[in-house]
Amino acid sequence: MKKEILERFDNTYPNRDYTIEIVNPEFTSVCPITGLPDFGSITVRYVPDKSCVELKSLKYYFFEFRNAGIFYENITNRILDDLVEVLQPRSMTVITEWKARGGITETVSVNYSAIA
Amino acid sequence: MKKEILERFDNTYPNRDYTIEIVNPEFTSVCPITGLPDFGSITVRYVPDKSCVELKSLKYYFFEFRNAGIFYENITNRILDDLVEVLQPRSMTVITEWKARGGITETVSVNYSAIA
Amino acid sequence: MKKEILERFDNTYPNRDYTIEIVNPEFTSVCPITGLPDFGSITVRYVPDKSCVELKSLKYYFFEFRNAGIFYENITNRILDDLVEVLQPRSMTVITEWKARGGITETVSVNYSAIA
Amino acid sequence: MKKEILERFDNTYPNRDYTIEIVNPEFTSVCPITGLPDFGSITVRYVPDKSCVELKSLKYYFFEFRNAGIFYENITNRILDDLVEVLQPRSMTVITEWKARGGITETVSVNYSAIA
Amino acid sequence: MKKEILERFDNTYPNRDYTIEIVNPEFTSVCPITGLPDFGSITVRYVPDKSCVELKSLKYYFFEFRNAGIFYENITNRILDDLVEVLQPRSMTVITEWKARGGITETVSVNYSAIA
Amino acid sequence: MKKEILERFDNTYPNRDYTIEIVNPEFTSVCPITGLPDFGSITVRYVPDKSCVELKSLKYYFFEFRNAGIFYENITNRILDDLVEVLQPRSMTVITEWKARGGITETVSVNYSAIA
Amino acid sequence: MKKEILERFDNTYPNRDYTIEIVNPEFTSVCPITGLPDFGSITVRYVPDKSCVELKSLKYYFFEFRNAGIFYENITNRILDDLVEVLQPRSMTVITEWKARGGITETVSVNYSAIA
Amino acid sequence: MKKEILERFDNTYPNRDYTIEIVNPEFTSVCPITGLPDFGSITVRYVPDKSCVELKSLKYYFFEFRNAGIFYENITNRILDDLVEVLQPRSMTVITEWKARGGITETVSVNYSAIA
Amino acid sequence: MKKEILERFDNTYPNRDYTIEIVNPEFTSVCPITGLPDFGSITVRYVPDKSCVELKSLKYYFFEFRNAGIFYENITNRILDDLVEVLQPRSMTVITEWKARGGITETVSVNYSAIA
Amino acid sequence: MKKEILERFDNTYPNRDYTIEIVNPEFTSVCPITGLPDFGSITVRYVPDKSCVELKSLKYYFFEFRNAGIFYENITNRILDDLVEVLQPRSMTVITEWKARGGITETVSVNYSAIA
């Protein structure tokens, strides 16, 4: 299970809203139709509540997608869902930017807020 | 008919607003007056409702304009109309940026929102 | 008369607000004090109502200033006035950015809106 | 007196709010503590009322600081005060950006508005 | 004690809100887990009240972290707390941007405002 | 026949070796296998002998390839052969740089010299 | 066997030396020690003799390294050996540029010439 | 006569070969066919012998071409001839780089050496 | 002893000259006069003979200079001497590029060749 | 006397040719004709023999030109002469690059070699 790889540590400053942005420009997965690799960059931006994500475990979590066949739109929503479930942040944004295929690039961005 | 080339697939996350941005920097059509080629970049940004556009079919749709003679302003509005009709998105923006002719560049941008 | 050079064509999509941005990085006029040439870039951004400006005529209109002696501030306001009179747009912005003279650059920007 | 160097000319379009931005990337003064030169860029952005600043006189005004020993924060506020007094603009912003000293850069920005 | 290194000087223009931004792209500390060096850039942006921070003392304050083992999130909050205590600014933002480790970069940003 | 579109004009300075470099970043042809468009930039650099190529005719010559299906390597050698035959230059280089397909870009360069 | 994936097509211009440069900025393999992914860009530049490499087969050849554990230096020499064996070029250069690990980047370049 | 505008001053260091490079990115002339303006950048690089060119007079010399209709190739050779005649340099290079017309740019470069 | 930290591994392709370039943009040492930190980038480029340097050990070797007080010129020569002694390469270049101090940057480069 | 400000320190590695490049992008002097300030960047590149230039003294040496009226060509040759006299290097290059005046930039470069 991918999301069980994710580790967290206690937020030392829970009384204050602040923002953590993590960028991984070395993400790769596989196109579910052609089986050929896709390459992209993933940005995770969040306001932590009780927990922060441990960077090394996040790296291993991203590594789990290396040979998975999954669409751009689904991978972006899936990463948001996993990180929200594990971290329970006050808010979070996930952005994936994909290298050109056939001359066309795609970017997908999705937001979550604990205040519905 | 150009827009019938467009294919869609089901949005897996319809309960959530999220944004898809597609950029095609390799668009070309023909000037309706001189018959000479125009070159530009097309950006389509939308919040999907029930459907997402399939990238390869979008590429073929853009390819249909290759030898069509059409003004910058009309091509931009036309692409918005076609994509709105096929995808019924929650909102959409289409931006076309054209390479210089006589030292002058032009950018056209148009928005659509399902919430009138 | 400079502004009589400007030609327009009918806006095919008058029921929709959309934006046209034209950039001419090859503008030149003459300093009214020294008689030496000034070089700059002109940006015209507008929401058309019934008419759009024809690009080639706009190029000839800009060409009319080539040997005219006129201050940065006045040329910017003058271009806005001429284009508003000819096109009657819903809104318009004109921005001129001038190359350094004596190590100093200047940018002038002015807006018009039909909704006073 | 530095500010007496500043000359103005009549604003030809006083009935309209528009913005003039002047950038001088070749500013230099002297550190009041070490006596060593500081280098920076000055941006003046304002909406004129009755008067505009004459560019050549502004250049001479900036030149007056060449051998003056004055702190970053004070020089920024001082330039704003001088220009507001001479031009009586509707609003003005002055920004100074200083080259690194000891690996550290500083930017100071200050605003004025005639509408208190 | 690190924060006692910080020196301040009187704000000469306390009647006016203005902004000072200081960027130090040469910050380094040590990873508390691996003991290996981290490298980053620190931005401090504040509206001074009665005091401004003296740049050289700020440099020495940053230098104190050179061999300290401390997490990205904590160092950012700690610097904000120290500077707020010493300067009592009207508002302040601290941003730290860290070089890639394992291909992943992190940016942490935190704000303070005297008006709760 | 494509190359018959090319026009030339007399070199006014035949007693002197000098270099003319022409760059067309808006070249497009069609993949002979997939029928999908390819986009690239073409550079022609030559030392004229008796003739120079007329730019507008060169543009029309390049336009002839718009719907032709031809490999990168062959198009580059073909353009060199055509231009050498028409212009009889002292030397010539043709370089084509192609936009990424499947994440991979290709550049082809070929030289000609009248002095074998 | 990786190199058997490589396909070639006949060089249509064997009487002339010309250069083909192929860049794949989306290469990934696995560190033989840590098992973590490495990311890099591969450049292949060669003068063909009788054969050129077919781009799509080259892409599949590179894809074969995706889950292989191999050092930077060895992968670079291995790719040169494979391509020289299959294409028998007049000369060839292979360059691999690797993304930072622990803040350190590495580039490896190796040349081959048929004229010993 | 254009070249008579050029002024020179004595080279203070005639015993030493050294290089002076002058770049004017604000050159404009007129297309002899269409009458429309061309824009370009001119670079003059030379090793002086007895004389150096006075910069202000060079500026006025370039200004003389503002409304002249002349081809790219000829203007480049003409400037070289004029400057060589006036300055008698040990060597000189003139490069003109022209803004795109119809998507195509041109660069012309020509060298002179006193040692035939 | 710093250089004893350096580890090597066998060059798998000793029959061929090829080049390895390693860049560490995160180097820091201490000014021997002021005790303040210096920041720079180190490039090591070499043709291996029997051995290659192990990257992680090189990183630890560079880390040893973190609190050492040493001049730019000496650190560059010292690193070359250490690496030549340990690796016995066919040739090597070391380049250090230092961040500005007092607005002035310095770069030092030194070469070694086994063929005297 | 300006050059007497220059200090040197012993070259620790006199048995080896290596290169030191110093760049000062914050140079300013005064135009001898208009009295207005000129701004430029100075590069000094040399192979030391027995002595290296001390950076702080070089900074003060450059500072001496702050209010001196001197032509671009002469200042470049003068700096070379001063540094060669004080350092007696094996070879040296001085390059000055000046900010645009009237839209025109100038670069002057001069070389010295001890081996006549």
Cross-chain residue pair I63–E26, CB shorter than 8 Å? no
Nearest chain G CA: its distance from I8 CA (Å): 13
Residue in the structure block whose two tokens are 């000087």: E9
CB contacts of G106 in chain I (<8 Å) are 20-23, 55
Nearest chain B CA: its distance from H79 CA (Å): 24
CB contacts of G116 in chain I (<8 Å) are none
What is the Cα D115 distance to its own chain's centre?
Answer: 20
Report how far apart, in Å, the C-alpha atoms of B106 and of each of B102, C21, C25, D97, I76 are. Answer: 11, 6, 12, 33, 52
Which residue in H10, H31, H49, H81 is the catalytic one?
H31
Backbone phi, psi, residue F33, to 5°: -95, -55
Confidence bin at D115 (pLDDT 50/70/90)? confident
pLDDT tens digit sequence for C16-44: 999 999 999 999 999 998 899 999 999 99
Helix (H) or strand (E) holding D93: strand D91-101
Whose CA is closest to D103, among E27, G103, J23, I42?
Answer: E27
Cross-chain residue pair B109–C18, CB shorter than 8 Å? yes
Least CB-CB distance to G63: which of A37, A63, A99?
A37
Nearest chain D CA: its distance from J39 CA (Å): 7
Interchain contact I/B (3 or more Cβ pairs less than 8 Å): no
CB contacts of F108 in chain G (<8 Å) are 18-21
In this structure, what token pair is assigned to residue E68? 């300290």
Whose CA is closest to J8, among J43, J52, J48?
Answer: J52
Least CB-CB distance to H77: which of F16, F24, F26?
F16
In this structure, what token pair is assigned to residue G17? 């030396």
Label residue D35 exposed, middle or buried (CB < 10 Å: 0-12, 13-18, 19+): exposed
The β-bridge partners of E24 are E42
Tell me how many degrees the CA angle I59-A62-E39 measures, rounded to the nearest 5. 30
HSE at residue A95, side-chain half, CA atoms within 13 A, is 11
CB contacts of D94 in chain E (<8 Å) are none
Label residue H21 exposed, middle or buried (CB < 10 Å: 0-12, 13-18, 19+): middle
Cross-chain residue pair A73–B19, CB shorter than 8 Å? no
HSE at residue E17, side-chain half, CA atoms within 13 A, is 8
In this structure, what token pair is assigned to residue B3? 């827009």
> DSSP string covering E75-87, please?
HHHHHHHHHHHHH
In this structure, what token pair is assigned to residue I112? 């070694």
Identify the residue among D55, D87, D91 best suited for mutation to test binding to C, counting C beta carbons within 10 A and taking the highest: D55
pLDDT score recorded for residue B29 = 95
DSSP class of residue J21?
E
Confidence bin at F61 (pLDDT 50/70/90)? very high
**Segment-wise mean pLDDT, segments of 10 residues, chain A, 116 residues:** 90 96 96 92 98 96 93 96 98 97 95 88
Residues of chain H with pLDDT under 70: 1, 116
CB contacts of A63 in chain G (<8 Å) are 36-37
- B77 at the C interface (CB within 8 A)? yes
Least CB-CB distance to C109: which of D12, D19, D23?
D19
Q: Around Cβ A114, how many Cβ atoms within 10 Å? A: 12
User: Residue J27: is its pLDDT beyond 90?
Assistant: yes
pLDDT score recorded for residue H2 = 85
Residue in the structure block whose two tokens are 């690990």: G101
**Torsion angle defined by CA atoms of residues D9, D10, D11 and D15, in that order, rounded to the nearest 10 degrees:** 170
pLDDT tens digit sequence for C66-87: 999 999 999 999 999 999 999 9
> DSSP string covering J36-101, please?
-EEEEEEEEEEE-SSEEE-HHHHHHHHHTTTT-B--HHHHHHHHHHHHHHHH--SEEEEEEEEEEE
CB contacts of I108 in chain J (<8 Å) are 18-21
Q: How many CB pairs under 8 A join H and J?
A: 54
CB contacts of B26 in chain A (<8 Å) are 103-104
Cross-chain residue pair E101–G103, CB shorter than 8 Å? yes
Least CB-CB distance to H104: which of F48, F52, F59?
F59
pLDDT score recorded for residue H16 = 95
Which residue in H17, H38, H52, H81 is the catalytic one?
H38
Confidence bin at G1 (pLDDT 50/70/90)? low
- Residue C88: left (phi > 0), alpha (psi -120 to 50), or beta? left
Interchain contact F/G (3 or more Cβ pairs less than 8 Å): yes
β strands within chain B, DSSP E: 8-10, 18-30, 37-47, 51-53, 91-101, 104-113
* Mean pLDDT, rounded, of chain D: 95
pLDDT score recorded for residue G99 = 96
Cross-chain residue pair D21–C77, CB shorter than 8 Å? no
Nearest chain D CA: its distance from I115 CA (Å): 41
Q: What percent of chain I has pLDDT over 90?
A: 89
The β-bridge partners of G86 are none
ipTM of the complex: 0.94
- H104 at the B interface (CB within 8 A)? no
Model pTM?
A: 0.95
Least CB-CB distance to I39: which of D39, D99, D103?
D103
* CA gap J59, J63 in Å, rounded: 6
Average pLDDT over residues F17-35: 95
Catalytic residues of J: 31, 38
* Residues of A (52-71) whose Cβ lies below 8 Å from E: 52, 55-56, 58-59
Cross-chain residue pair D16–C103, CB shorter than 8 Å? no
* CA gap D110, E16 in Å, rounded: 8
pLDDT tens digit sequence for C97-116: 999 998 999 999 999 999 86
D52 is catalytic: no
Q: Around Cβ J25, how many Cβ atoms within 10 Å? A: 16
pLDDT score recorded for residue G104 = 95
The β-bridge partners of G91 are G47, G113
* CA gap G49, F79 in Å, rounded: 20
Whose CA is closest to J8, among J57, J69, J73, J77?
Answer: J57
User: Residue D2: is its pLDDT beyond 80?
Assistant: yes
pLDDT tens digit sequence for G6-50: 999 999 999 999 999 999 999 999 999 889 999 999 999 999 999
In this structure, what token pair is assigned to residue H78? 């003409």
Residues of chain E with pLDDT under 50: none
> DSSP string covering G39-71, please?
EEEEEEEEE-SSEEE-HHHHHHHHHTTTT-B--
Whose CA is closest to I44, among I29, I31, I30, I57?
Answer: I57
pLDDT tens digit sequence for G85-103: 999 999 999 999 999 998 9
Residue in the structure block whose two tokens are 């650099």: F45
pLDDT score recorded for residue C115 = 81
pLDDT score recorded for residue E115 = 81
Nearest chain C CA: its distance from B75 CA (Å): 11
pLDDT tens digit sequence for D3-57: 999 999 999 999 999 999 999 999 999 999 888 999 999 999 999 999 999 999 9
Interchain contact C/E (3 or more Cβ pairs less than 8 Å): no
User: Residue I1: is its pLDDT beyond 70?
Assistant: no
* CA gap H66, J53 in Å, rounded: 48
* CA gap D69, D28 in Å, rounded: 10
Q: How many CB pairs under 8 A join B and C?
A: 53
DSSP class of residue E7?
-
SS3 content of chain F, % helix, strand, coil (to 5): 25, 45, 30
Catalytic residues of A: 31, 38
Contact (Cβ atoms closer than 8 angstroms) between residue E8 and residue E53: yes
**Segment-wise mean pLDDT, segments of 10 residues, chain B, 116 residues:** 90 96 96 92 98 96 93 96 98 97 95 88
